[in-house]
Amino acid sequence: MSRTFWAIVGKELLSFIRSWQLVLVVLYSFTVEVYIAGSGIEINPRNVAVGYVDDTGGGISQKILARLHGPEFLPPHRFKSQEELSRAIFDKEIIVGIVFDADFEKNLRQGRNAQLNVLLDATAASQAYTTMGYLQSILLDIAAPDLPIDVASHKLFNENADNHTFMALTEMLSIITMLTVILTAVVFVKEKEQGTWDIMLLMPVDPKLIILAKSFSQVLIVMAGIVISLGFIVLGAFQTPLNGSFAAFALLSFFYVCASAGIGLFIAAIARDVMQVAQLSIIVMMPLIFLSGAWTPIYAMHPVLQTVSLASPLRYYIEGTESIFYRGSGWIDLLPYFGGVIAVGGIMYWIGFRKIGRLF
Amino acid sequence: MRLRIIRAYIYKELVELVRSRFIVMVFLLPTMLLLLFGYGIRMEVTGARTLIIDNDNSVLSQRLIAKFEHSRYFRTQVEPISEAQALRRIKQARADVIVVIPESFEKRVLHHQRTGIGVFVDAAFPSRGVTMETYVRGVILDAASDLGKERSANLIAINQRTLFNQAMRDEDAIVPGLIGLVLLVSPAILGALLIVKEKERGTIFNFYASPLSKWEFITAKLIPAFLLHSLNIFVLFLWAVYVFDVPFRGSFWLYWIASEIYLLISISIGMLISVVTRTQIVAVVLTIIITIIPGFMYSGIIMPISSMSGPSQIEAHIFPVMYYNHILYDVFLIGEGIESEKTARYLGIMIVYSAILLGLGRLFLRKELK
């Protein structure tokens, strides 16, 4: 019984290693791809390109501009006329344009209401918002320096709002989903395509054992990928804080990978060839990944999508992972996530298992 | 180029696409992606669950709380609980923001003594954390300048003009960029399967043995994919304008022509993958990985190219999506068209780009056994 099981697992692992292109792609996804996603992008407003036109003598205007500095802002760029400034904004080279017109300083010195003209490129909304906030507080500070209110704000769990670790982590979770689903489905469909699957089911070995062993082999491959990705990239290169228990994460990952393998089984049961696996898995995975809260938190979505996302095991996995890594939640707080992954995953695995095991 | 043969080959390809039901995917995937992303991605934060702990209970603190309550960005709850209890709520992901108004807040403000309002934001989702923090600061600042106005009238007013997207709608900012992503991913996947499929099944030997030239083969493979996806250019346009209500301010011709060139680029990327890989599974996984993530990162949806630093700036210029998306945002929101020198230059770059990719595909395609 268990000898047959391990023999099948061994055979699948061997045939995986023999396809060197596939091994390379899997390794690439778990390392380089996660690294690119983590290092490449900064969602927080940084390096906002500011341009200005200054028709005043330059006393107060320079005082204001001097306070727009790095890392949030690039050094402000001076333009000769308002036309030049708007051309740069239209070409998307400048996001925020500030115009100090001739009587700005005069009005201010004489105690009249001075006005500052600001042009914002609203397609970069979060940059525009942040800059407005900065400008507002700078102007308030200059005009009424005696207002004694401080805001002491703390960004919990991620004090610098460092986006790199977060992007790397969610990217790893997406890759886990994608690879598990596709690898599992293809292992079965390849046999179907070559006509050997029916023979497998007719062999004197329990078909349930074959299905379990085959999907387990792919779970092993992905778990190995997770270890590599965590060790070298997420914890290694990006130094992501791991505030919670590592065992909890490993266990949650294992359940989740099994759930994804269930989706793979289901796809394998419907698809007739690898081409169809490709289509089906993309059609199933895309909603799964993008409704999971990796890109936008669930409660900020359209209400219909929120309900749909309850059926996505990735949702529970991502929330659980966030809690383990950043919030450092204990086992009791993690129970709902474990429950979600196991419940949804169990149903999916069971459906897939039933469907693929049926002969003809 | 023998047109008759190419026509026959194209017919065969089309029949195959229909029979394998891949044609469903050609039209379902772009629409599905656009709707999912379009409704699913939100940059702005509305209804952040805000917990206010008012330790002062004064007129001033009530005024501050009212400011929060009147903002659609917050869903406010005032509760007399301790800071530790409130922090525990954030840990359980049941609150997003905590605002703590200290004791004798009003007294200190009126006596010009410094006082601090404590703000705690859940930054487990960093970009949202930052956005929420900005909003909270904005509200407090707003309240403070109201107070400032009552005391001294001499304040600088900001006359703010938001260009291209006056209402600051998320859809306007995201959907045009999404078209660039969708028209990259979906044609690339189709292109990636075209040739490798024949390799895995062994039917590629028909091509090896036939007098068909490499260019004829590539043309015959690309044209059906190209024509089918050309329809998507219009479908996506209709979704954007009529479902998401994105304005269209530029010329439709520019949109159409740029999209066709871009389509050629993305199918060629897929074809290049198809030429170098040996199995379909590798081709599919590779295509997804090298199109979706960079396509999203360098699309300008979440981050303007001008704000990228060093290596990302270079990578963005290597990837085609940046050029196309510049044109997309121009035709949808800005409307300068080809008169803008930058748009014209980017269109030229895209043409050169597609020519290079096609050349590379021709270069790596083999017509004999290794």
> Where is average pLDDT lowest: A250-254, A337-341, B110-114, B164-168?
B164-168
* Token digits of residue A313: 């095991």
pLDDT band at A42 (very low <50, low <70, confident <90, very high): low
Cβ count within 10 A of residue A191: 18
What is the end-to-end Cα distance of chain B in Å, rounded? Answer: 26
| Single-letter residue type at B235 | V
**Which chain B residues have a beta carbon less than 8 Å from that of A273?**
20
pLDDT band at A311 (very low <50, low <70, confident <90, very high): confident
pLDDT at B167: 66
pLDDT band at A162 (very low <50, low <70, confident <90, very high): low
Residue A158 has pLDDT above 70, yes or no: no
A273 by DSSP, 3-state: which?
A: coil
- Which of B328, B359, B338 lies closest to B184 in space, CA to CA? B328
Q: Are A201 and A357 in contact (CB under 8 A)?
A: yes
Q: At B146, phi and psi to the nearest 5?
A: -60, -45
> Where is average pLDDT lowest: A100-104, B82-86, B166-170?
B166-170
H/E stretch holding A53 reads strand A50-54
Residue in B23, B130, B197, B301 to test binding to A, most A beta-carbons within 10 Å: B130
Q: Residues, chain A, total?
A: 360
* Token digits of residue B43: 């940059």
- Which of B326, B296, B46, B40 lies closest to B168 in space, CA to CA? B46
Sign of CA dihedral B160, B164, B165, B171: negative
Residue in B39, B285, B291 to test binding to A, most A beta-carbons within 10 Å: B285
Residue B139 has pLDDT above 70, yes or no: yes
Q: How far is A132 from chain B (nearest CA, A)?
A: 9
Sign of CA dihedral B165, B170, B174, B175: negative
**Which chain B residues have a beta carbon less than 8 Å from that of A127?**
304, 307
User: Residue B20 and residue A275: Cβ atoms within 8 Å?
Assistant: yes
- Residues A14-18, mean pLDDT to the nearest whole number: 88
pLDDT at A148: 63
Average pLDDT, chain B: 83
The residues pairing with A335 across neighbouring beta strands, listed in sequence order, are none
Q: At B167, phi and psi to the nearest 5?
A: -85, 0
pLDDT at B313: 77
What chain A residue is nearest to B121 in terms of C-alpha separation? A155
Which CATH superfamily hosts domain B48-151?
abc type-2 transporter like domain (3.40.1710.10)
> Where is average pLDDT lowest: A87-101, A156-170, B4-18, B252-266?
A156-170
Percentage of residues of chain B with pLDDT beyond 70: 94
- Domain positions in chain B are 3-41+168-364, 48-151
**Which chain A residues have a beta carbon less than 8 Å from that of B278?**
21
- Residues A224-241, mean pLDDT to the nearest whole number: 85
CA distance B269 to B262: 11
Q: Are A152 and B117 in contact (CB under 8 A)?
A: yes
pLDDT band at A40 (very low <50, low <70, confident <90, very high): low
Residue A160 has pLDDT above 70, yes or no: no
User: Residue B163 and residue A124: Cβ atoms within 8 Å?
Assistant: no
DSSP assignment letter at A291 = T
pLDDT at B231: 93
Dihedral of CA atoms B121, B123, B128, B133 in degrees, nearest 10, equals 30
Q: Which long-range contacts (CB under 8 A, 24 or more apart) does B283-286 make?
A: B283/B192, B283/B193, B283/B196, B284/A182, B284/A274, B284/A278, B284/A282, B284/B189, B284/B192, B284/B193, B285/A22, B285/A25, B285/A26, B285/A29, B285/A178, B285/A179, B285/A182, B286/A25, B286/B192
List, for residues B158-185, the tens digit of each pLDDT value: 777 777 766 667 778 888 888 998 899 8
pLDDT at B103: 84
Residue B191 has pLDDT above 70, yes or no: yes
User: Residue A282 and residue B153: Cβ atoms within 8 Å?
Assistant: no
Between B65 and A107, the higher pLDDT residue: B65
Q: Are A118 and B161 in contact (CB under 8 A)?
A: yes
Q: How far is B23 from chain A (nearest CA, A)?
A: 10
User: Residue A301 and residue B277: Cβ atoms within 8 Å?
Assistant: no
- Residue A346 sits at the vertex; the CA angle it makes with A342 and A349, to the nearest 5 degrees, is 140
What chain A residue is nearest to B111 in terms of C-alpha separation? A148
Domains located in chain A, CATH noted: 2-41+161-357 (no CATH), 50-143 (3.40.1710.10)
Q: Are A300 and A280 in contact (CB under 8 A)?
A: no
User: Residue B42 and residue A323: Cβ atoms within 8 Å?
Assistant: no
Strands (E), chain B: 48-54, 74-78, 97-101, 115-122, 156-163
pLDDT at B153: 53
pLDDT band at A157 (very low <50, low <70, confident <90, very high): low
Residue A359 has pLDDT above 60, yes or no: no
Q: How far is B212 from chain A (nearest CA, A)?
A: 25
Residue A94 has pLDDT above 60, yes or no: yes
Q: Are A210 and A236 in contact (CB under 8 A)?
A: no
Strands (E), B209-348: none
- pTM, two decimals, is 0.83
pLDDT at B166: 67
- Residues B121-147, mean pLDDT to the nearest whole number: 79
Q: At B259, phi and psi to the nearest 5?
A: -65, -40
Cβ count within 10 A of residue B167: 9
What chain A residue is nearest to B165 in terms of C-alpha separation? A122
User: Residue A286 and residue B36: Cβ atoms within 8 Å?
Assistant: yes
What is the end-to-end Cα distance of chain A in Å, rounded? Answer: 25
Mark out the alpha helices in A19-158 (DSSP H runs).
Answer: 20-28, 34-40, 60-66, 82-90, 104-109, 125-143
CA distance A322 to A292: 12
**Which chain A residues have a beta carbon less than 8 Å from that of B117?**
149-152
- Residues A139-158, mean pLDDT to the nearest whole number: 68
- Which of A166, A171, A127 lies closest to B43 in space, CA to CA? A127
Sign of CA dihedral B255, B257, B259, B262: negative
Residues 6+ apart with CB under 8 A from B34: B175, B178, B179, B182, B236, B239, B240
Report CA-CA distances (Å) from B255 to B25, B85, B262, B299: 24, 55, 10, 16
Q: How far is B307 from chain A (nearest CA, A)?
A: 5
User: Residue B157 and residue A114: Cβ atoms within 8 Å?
Assistant: yes
- Residues A271-289, mean pLDDT to the nearest whole number: 80
- Please tell me which of A46-50, A307-311, B189-193 the model is most confident about, judged by mean pLDDT: B189-193
List, for residues B274-324, the tens digit of each pLDDT value: 999 888 888 888 888 888 877 877 777 777 777 776 677 787 888 888 899
Among the partner residues B37, B294, B342, nearest to A290 by beta-carbon distance: B37
Cβ count within 10 A of residue A198: 11
Place of tokens 């490499």: B214
- Residue A143 sits at the vertex; the CA angle it makes with A141 and A146, to the nearest 5 degrees, is 60
User: Residue A291 and residue B40: Cβ atoms within 8 Å?
Assistant: yes
